[in-house]
Amino acid sequence: MLTIRKAELRDVPAIFGLINYYAAERVVLPRTLRELYENVREFTVAEVEGKVLGCGALKFYSDEIAEIRSLCVDGTEQAHGLGRALTERLVREAAGHGLKTVFALTLATRFFLKCGFREVPRASLPMKIWRDCIHCDKYFHCDEITVALDLPQPAASSAPSAAEPSEVSV
């Protein structure tokens, strides 16, 4: 059975492996072990029988907006709903914090559009550009598409606790 839960320190090596596999494919940006240990609380993982098969992070930019980033699923598990389950959990977590919008910069535009996101101009997210993009090697030749999802308000009372693990059938 699939379990979606907040990441723990013991999950960092598996998260590192997933992210850097896709970073080598130039699908996501690489992350160092240090970054992952420092930011492990941002991550949610999908696991089956104790094995981490997917991950994704929710990075806050303000009290209204956060980014879904480093969304990765083990290649043997793609097209089985893990990416969607992780995305839905991260969106619920964002809603539980009372955020208004979740966004992503992605090469998997179709996936996010199927999850209800819409394309938006990158310029509509100046805090992302000045905080992260300006330091990125891809800044002058970025091929990622910006997508966003407006969250229903108020959602805090109806969202499950982000720390609460749940079993999901996919």
CA distance 159 to 122: 28
Tell me which fold the domain 2-160 belongs to: Aminopeptidase (3.40.630)
Partners of 119 in beta bridges: 147
Range from 45-49, 103-107, 151-155 carrying the lowest mean pLDDT: 151-155
Distance CA 157, CA 121 (A): 31
Q: Token pair for residue 122?
A: 């990158």
> How is residue 77 annotated by DSSP?
G
Domain boundaries, the chain: 2-160
For residue 169, name the pLDDT band (cuts at 50, 70, 90).
low
Structure tokens at 94: 């964002």
- The structure's pTM equals 0.81
Model pLDDT for residues 10-26, shown as the tens digit of each residue: 999 999 999 999 988 88
DSSP state of 65: E
pLDDT in tens, 93-108: 999 999 999 999 887 7
The more confidently predicted of residues 169 and 79 is 79
pLDDT at position 157 over 80: no
